[in-house]
Structure 1
Amino acid sequence: MRFLKTLCLGAAAAFIAGLPAQAETKLTIATVNNNDMVVMQKLSKDFETKNPDIKLNWVVLEENTLRQRLTTDIATKGGQYDIMTIGLFEAPMWGERNWLTAFDNVPADYKLDDVLKSVRDGLSYNGKLYALPFYAESQMTFYRKDLFDKAGLTMPEQPTWKDIDGFAAKIHDPDHGVYGICLRGKPGWGENIGQITPVANSYGARWFDMEWKPQFDTPAWKEGLTVYVDLLKKYGPPGAASNGYNENLALFASGKCGMWVDATVSAGFLNDPKQSSVVGKLGYAHPPYGKFNKGNHYLWSWALAVPASSKAPDAAKKFIYWATSTDYIKLVADYSGIVTVPPGTRQSTYDNADYIKAAPFAKLTLDTIQTANMTDATQEKVPYRGISFVGIPEFQSIGTAVGQEFAAVIAGKKTVDQGLAAAQSLTQRAMRQAGYPKK
């Protein structure tokens, strides 16, 4: 009897061993090296535990490099990535070209209606959603309340750039390692250009007129760029022309900046005592404006999309639903505190009394996101969509080239007039080669 039992068990084991193993799906995720995405990578073990048949391969890149690689891959149908981290610039254009897989039939438990409409609309084309937001942001003015109190200063709820200049002069203290203001100088259409363009908008500037003629030779552009450059030259940290988002975030978090005008998403990081030395010293205000407050703050979302070239679109969507869900937001809250959850995507985040209590910047974040109008951001009419960018494919290369010119101005290698003249010339040439104005 024992012999027969052993024989049967051996036969069963042999049968099971002969079955094909469950196929493992490998997803390659390309994302930006911002703090929230680094946290996503750490917490993705939760997803892999729940989905043992899916293996995640991460490609984490600096912002400019990420954009270059993703654009090349998707335009050539390279198929290197199953999930791409893109934004409001790429999603509608790539969706229009059928380069992305649409999010049709989103599961009911995902609660798509909870996602803020302005963000959903920005990631859609012709009524179809082509990416889901990991976080969304606008801009705000961060400032050190302790430094303002010491100098007897009061930050208005809505400052002007003239106000900012005056404040920077009074709190600038480089001998003690504190600089009046930090702003992005690093070239890139999503780096310095993404910050300078709203400033220029607020002085009445625009990138193109209705015939697609570049407008850098206008007084409005000169005034806006001069304000930005002068602030960094007088009150910015050394090497400002090389500082992008992550560099300025690190500077502000370590107490080296008196003010910083940048992405609202930074607030959570700056309120995390594990990563920031300025917790409890922070104040928040609306982003500054020059002469007009139209177009003085942008709308952006880092979102997750599935390229049409992915060989595992269903698995990719499964991961994206996880990473952009209310359950993921709870996971982050448990991991590093509710104040650090990805902001700007879901109404339920802002209906959460615990979040509102922990995040004094929450109402301002929501207000700037909801008031940023991507179709009416300039004083004069324009033929394009966008606040901090121009919604045409050519802008990626044009914007970065102009950003290099502006970085040279910030570094003192060119004057404002020289930088604007170069921007005008290179943009004219690029638009002519691209066949604008298009019929």
Structure 2
Amino acid sequence: MSRTRIRAITSGAAAALLAAALTGCAGWGGGGGGSDDANSIDVLMVNNPQMIDLQRLTADNFTARTGIRVNFTVLPENDVRDKISQEFSSQAGQYDVASLSNFEIPIYAKSEWIAPLDPYVAADAAFDQADILPPMTESLTAEDGKLYGEPFYGESSFLMYRKDVLDAQGVEMPAKPTWQQVAAIAAQVDGKQPGMAGICLRGQPGWGQIFAPLTTVVNTFGGTWFDIDWNAKVDAPEFKQATQFYVDLVRAHGEVGAPQAGFTECLNNLMQGNVAMWYDATSAAGSLEAADSPVKGKIGYAAAPVEKTASSGWLYAWSWSIQQASEKKDNAWKFISWASGREYEELVGAQLGWSRVPAGKRASTYDNPDYLKEASAFAAPTEQAISSADPRNPGVQPRPAIGIQFVDIPEFTDLGTQVSQYVSSAIAGQMTVDEALERGQPLADDVAERYRSRENG
């Protein structure tokens, strides 16, 4: 019996699940895609700042060199995920390339919505796939062993802390702390400066909010959402212990308004001096070390805290994939090779500044003296966090699906969000952790039963 045993879901079912889970408010973007011009491609992408930089740089650089015109459709995250799901499930070929995360790519690959990239990688030595950080390549590789995405930028997670605040209390942060050590430090520094809590941890409901950090805590405490045989483990002792620890820590020494705090709120809390520590995405470091940041130079960075595992950082990447129905795959690959290439990073560094480089994907980035000069405080911890992430083995037991801070199945978006609402309520003191997870267990078991039925069918 293979370790990863999810059977491919039908395209229609995947489309419905993803559309239902990932829809959002109406956004902005450009045109419809599907140009008849053989020398143009259509790209559907998220409106993150790094993508907007790419859009601005494409015509004068990529198009000028290759003659390939790129038509961009740019939308906010929820909207772009919804539109990509609809477009790629229909296989109409309206868009050649889309920005997908390492959550969607293995799912889309199973449904044969996206094309394998291995032939292009093999023929394009200049792209240098070996330079892509191995966990990124692993997370974008499907069950069939083929590569379906190339990362544009990536992140893991680590612990950020105020060096001056810890120093004032005579506290030394270990380079690789345990969660018990972090809890002890949070207690020691809590309230030592007026209005400053010990730590910020996300409490806002959402599969990509509270359960991004919390699932990594579950992993390292020995828990899992599902075991290898698709048995739900949400109310198992290890899952309960991890969740109880997290809830107790944020209730005792966490930020004000924790049940509503997500990434943005915690970032603001650390920058404004409201908390002494924060466990979250490595991508936050760029804001903390920006020229106008009030905490620039005051932040230390340590590995994601652990308990039973050697590492626990998550893994996330906005990446490029080619629609299977595209008739312009060769030109689509040329764009991807450029946008995810070393040359593009150097272009951004030279024209826009090294702090805007879409990092977190290539080993060479962390050897580049120009980048290191700008990102010296956090470059090495970020690279180490990403390199030590193991998307196929993030805990102490085999898993039925790839993923560190998520379970890579379409149903997880809805499941994680529903259970997160109960855990957030526990942080708010409205129910106990046991009650929260006892409500979550049957929801997880409903999902698990679908996969057990498919395997036994």
Q: TM-score, normalised by structure 2?
A: 0.80
Cα–Cα, structure 1 residues 418 and 75, in superposed 2: closer, same or farther, change >3 Å? farther
Q: Which residue of 2 aligns with 1:60?
A: 75
Unpaired segments ≥5 residues, structure 2:
1-35
Cα distance in 1 for residues equivalent to 2:249 and 2:52: 31
| Residue 420 of structure 2, aligned match among 376, 382, 403 | 403
User: What letter matches 2:336 in structure 1?
Assistant: I
Q: Which residue of 1 aligns with 2:116?
A: 102
Cα distance in 2 for residues equivalent to 1:136 and 1:69: 22
User: What letter matches 1:350 in structure 2?
Assistant: Y
Contact (CA 8 Å) 1:119, 1:133: kept in 2 or not?
Answer: yes
Cα distance in 2 for residues equivalent to 1:70 and 1:83: 10
| Residue 168 of structure 1, aligned match among 183, 186, 190 | 186
Shift of 1:264: 1.9
Cα-to-partner distance string for 1:137-190 (whole Å, 9 max, x where unaligned): 222111111221223221111112222222223333498453322222333333
Structure number with bigger Rg: 1
| Residue 247 of structure 2, aligned match among 217, 229, 232 | 229
User: What letter matches 1:27 in structure 2?
Assistant: D
Cα–Cα, structure 1 residues 72 and 368, in superposed 2: closer, same or farther, change >3 Å? same
Cα distance in 2 for residues equivalent to 1:86 and 1:41: 16
Cα–Cα, structure 1 residues 266 and 216, in superposed 2: closer, same or farther, change >3 Å? same
> 2:365 matched to 1:349?
yes
| Residue 263 of structure 1, aligned match among 281, 302, 321 | 281
Contact (CA 8 Å) 2:272, 2:294: kept in 1 or not?
Answer: yes
| Residue 417 of structure 1, aligned match among 434, 442, 448 | 434
Cα distance in 2 for residues equivalent to 1:311 and 1:253: 48
Cα distance in 2 for residues equivalent to 1:355 and 1:158: 25
Unpaired segments ≥5 residues, structure 1:
1-20
User: What letter matches 2:180 in structure 1?
Assistant: K
Q: How do residues 333-372 of structure 1 correspond to structure 2 at under 5 angstroms? A: 333-358=349-374, 359-372=376-389
Aligned partner of residue 207 in structure 2, secondary structure: coil
Cα distance in 2 for residues equivalent to 1:88 and 1:76: 21
Q: Which residue of 2 aligns with 1:9?
A: none
Cα distance in 1 for residues equivalent to 2:158 and 2:205: 21
Q: How do residues 367-386 of structure 1 correspond to structure 2 at under 5 angstroms? A: 367-386=384-403
Aligned partner of residue 284 in structure 1, secondary structure: strand
Contact (CA 8 Å) 1:294, 1:377: kept in 2 or not?
Answer: no
Cα distance in 1 for residues equivalent to 2:60 and 2:191: 45
Cα-to-partner distance string for 1:397-416 (whole Å, 9 max, x where unaligned): 32232223323323333321
Shift of 1:220: 1.2
Shift of 1:44: 4.5
> 2:404 matched to 1:387?
yes
Cα distance in 1 for residues equivalent to 2:43 and 2:189: 46
| Residue 46 of structure 2, aligned match among 31, 34, 38 | 31
| Residue 179 of structure 1, aligned match among 197, 202, 210 | 197
Contact (CA 8 Å) 1:188, 1:404: kept in 2 or not?
Answer: yes
Q: Which residue of 1 aligns with 2:130?
A: 113
Cα distance in 2 for residues equivalent to 1:378 and 1:355: 33
Q: Which residue of 1 aligns with 2:24?
A: none
| Residue 147 of structure 1, aligned match among 160, 165, 173 | 165
Q: Which residue of 2 aligns with 1:191?
A: 209
Shift of 1:224: 0.6
Q: How do residues 126-141 of structure 1 correspond to structure 2 at under 5 angstroms? A: 126-141=144-159
Q: Which residue of 2 aligns with 1:86?
A: 100
Cα distance in 2 for residues equivalent to 1:309 and 1:255: 51
Q: Which residue of 1 aligns with 2:342?
A: 326
Q: Which residue of 2 aligns with 1:11?
A: none
Cα distance in 1 for residues equivalent to 2:253 and 2:80: 31
Q: Which residue of 1 aligns with 2:19?
A: none
Cα distance in 1 for residues equivalent to 2:60 and 2:273: 34
Q: Which residue of 1 aligns with 2:9?
A: none
Cα–Cα, structure 1 residues 257 and 37, in superposed 2: closer, same or farther, change >3 Å? farther
Cα distance in 2 for residues equivalent to 1:37 and 1:179: 35
Q: Which residue of 2 aligns with 1:297?
A: 313
Contact (CA 8 Å) 2:163, 2:300: kept in 1 or not?
Answer: yes
> 2:439 matched to 1:426?
no
Query: Over aligned residue pairs, what C-alpha RMSD do you find?
Result: 3.0
User: What letter matches 1:231 in structure 2?
Assistant: L
Aligned partner of residue 120 in structure 2, secondary structure: coil
